[in-house]
Structure 1
Amino acid sequence: MDSPCQPPQTLNTTESFRRGSSSSGPSVRQLARFPDRGTVKGQELNIYFVSSEGVSYMTVCHCSLPVAKAFCFLEDLRWEFTACFNSTVVALANRPYPFLEFDSTIQKLKQQYNQSGGPALEVTLAEVQEDLRIHPPQIIDLEEVELTNGIANGHMEQGPGSGQNVRLEPVTAPGILSLVLNIVCASLNIIRGVHLIEYTFQDDYEGIWNVVAFLLAFVCCVLQCHLYLFHSSLKKHKSFTLLSAIVLCNLYLLGPRNAWQLMFHISVASLSTVLTLTRKLQDRTNDCGV
């Protein structure tokens, strides 16, 4: 279950669910492998969880929030949940839906913490700090959680540069011009290549390498457009590889093409490479929705 993330020094919406439930998702089932209290550290956000009497409570907080305050929130949440649902209801629940009505309590408790900045019910900050000092929560590696969840869902592990969760800056006017020119170059390459195939068959394949050069240049132009529009790992290496391939293909085609055509294709490829390398990732603020 996901929840919206808040600016620094605030607590997030927390969900409660039956620990190890077979229908509440792979990530929930995997909680049985973890300790009753733990922390998953991220770059800007940390995940804190507490498990008690077959129920797990989880919250996502900014890394600047004190650990004791996060666990105070979870303990207060545990008290509220225990008061609303007895062990029989929890034992009979096969899905998290019976607990949807508890969301209003979560929101009230969250608002209380965000406004007052401290515990609201039975638990005091000093008690939690002392308990954490004696029994510190186990630190869980984020990569371990991601890998386990990915395998449980039948997906491969994604690298940090996979581009699935990042967003590039908006496309600029020079970027649109570059895309249009790249499409023009790709069209010219594929038209010349396909047209040359007919003559290649008639001339006993003497011009086969010219056909290969045209088609390879066409593929590189298309890949340059894709590389500009979407984030990719090793962007710099891929950009220079595509540029080098386009330059070599056009140098080889110096016969079928004149010098001006050669300069046009290489200039367009160079412009696309520069714009691809200068297009940065969009800054993401701490305020983000689900």
Structure 2
Amino acid sequence: MILYACVVRLQDGLPLSASMDFHMSKNVSDSKRKLRALSVTLCQRPERGTAELCELSIHFCSSGDIASLALCSSSYPHSMAFCFLDEILWEFMSSYKNVAIALASRPYAFREFDSVIQRVKHNFNFAASPPVPLESCPPPVCVKLDDIEKVNNIANGYPACSDLSGLYSRLTPVTSIGLLSLTLNIMCSALSLIRGAHLAEHSFQNGYEDAGRIAAFCTAFCANIFQCHLYFFHCSARTRKTCGLLAVICFCNIYLYGERNVWLILFHIGVAVLFTLQILMRKPVDRRRTFGK
């Protein structure tokens, strides 16, 4: 019998969809943990393989950018398990484009496909005449699960926390104060752009004596826009970049004293400080808390 099945992204093992889990035994839970650990290493393994556990078996099959895995009882025919995995892959690839798969940034982004996996699993488990397995498929490779949880810094079947430094790591939800500071920051960037464009137009008619102030307006505008990027996306050295942008905005506004009065300079710097705090408060979400299902 097929107990559990899922579809993952081959590149990093990100789970995209999975069947409903009605088996709560400790043996099944431990086997699912090993299945998740195995899924992260599929890009280094053959296209088809089987890992034998005590009373259960893990089968996997990969094609293109995705892979399907199934947790079955040891008595379930391996040929039927791979026929099931092939059908799951075909259904998923016919439903979603490669671009959508590549852009998925959170676990189980294709939850609507869960019902498809559940339906196919039910058909293979309880159909009166199960589908005939394909003989042309290559034979599966036997995979050993010894110390697999230590491979590629995997702990308890999940990627290590260092994976959170990637560009597309999920951040904590946006707050109301964050939205307010974002709006004010966009307003400040628009003011800098408009004032810089107006000064540039005037400078072209009367020489280039204001080139320094024009550069300051443009630099402040770019720094505000890059702050917006850091607010929505995580990247390496995010804290240093955020503090550096704050310093640039402060320097530009102080340099523009004369073009802007003191209160306007304080307003721009205050908005930049508030937005900097909001950027630093948005921390990456630990994906290990969301990978379980």
- Residue pairs, 1:18-33, within 5 angstroms: none
**CA shift in 2, pair 1:262/1:77, >3 Å:** same
Q: Is structure 2 residue 220 aligned with structure 1 residue 217? A: yes
Name the TM-score, length of structure 1 as normaliser. Answer: 0.56
Partner residue in 2 for 1:81: 77
**1:206 paired residue among 202, 205, 209:** 209
Letter in 2 for 1:242: L
Give how far 1:142 is off: 2.9
Give how far 1:209 is off: 1.0
Q: Is structure 2 residue 272 aligned with structure 1 residue 272? A: no
SS of residue paired to 1:167 = coil
Give how far 1:194 is off: 0.3
Give how far 1:235 is off: 1.4
Are 2:164 and 2:284, in contact at CA under 8 Å, matched by a contact in 1?
no
- How far, CA to CA, are the matches of 1:194 and 1:99 in structure 2? 54
- The two structures, once aligned, show a CA RMSD in angstroms of 4.4
- How far, CA to CA, are the matches of 2:163 and 2:170 in structure 1? 16
Partner residue in 2 for 1:103: 121
Q: Which has the larger radius of gyration?
A: 1
Give how far 1:260 is off: 0.7
Q: Is structure 2 residue 126 aligned with structure 1 residue 142? A: no
SS of residue paired to 2:209 = coil
- How far, CA to CA, are the matches of 1:250 and 1:103 in structure 2? 63
**1:260 paired residue among 247, 263, 266:** 263
**CA shift in 2, pair 1:99/1:254, >3 Å:** closer
Give how far 1:232 is off: 2.4
Are 2:192 and 2:217, in contact at CA under 8 Å, matched by a contact in 1?
yes
- Residue pairs, 1:6-85, within 5 angstroms: 9=26, 10-11=28-29, 45-47=36-38, 56-57=49-50, 69=54, 72-74=56-58, 77=73, 79-82=75-78, 84=80
Partner residue in 2 for 1:151: none
SS of residue paired to 1:80 = coil
Are 1:189 and 1:214, in contact at CA under 8 Å, matched by a contact in 2?
yes
Give how far 1:169 is off: 1.8
- How far, CA to CA, are the matches of 1:206 and 1:99 in structure 2? 65
Are 2:181 and 2:271, in contact at CA under 8 Å, matched by a contact in 1?
yes
**CA shift in 2, pair 1:84/1:8, >3 Å:** closer
- How far, CA to CA, are the matches of 2:220 and 2:74 in structure 1? 62
Letter in 1 for 2:76: E
Aligned length: 204
- Residue pairs, 1:237-248, within 5 angstroms: 237-248=240-251
**CA shift in 2, pair 1:205/1:274, >3 Å:** same
Are 2:220 and 2:249, in contact at CA under 8 Å, matched by a contact in 1?
yes
- Residue pairs, 1:186-201, within 5 angstroms: 186-201=189-204
Are 1:186 and 1:218, in contact at CA under 8 Å, matched by a contact in 2?
yes
- How far, CA to CA, are the matches of 2:89 and 2:76 in structure 1? 12
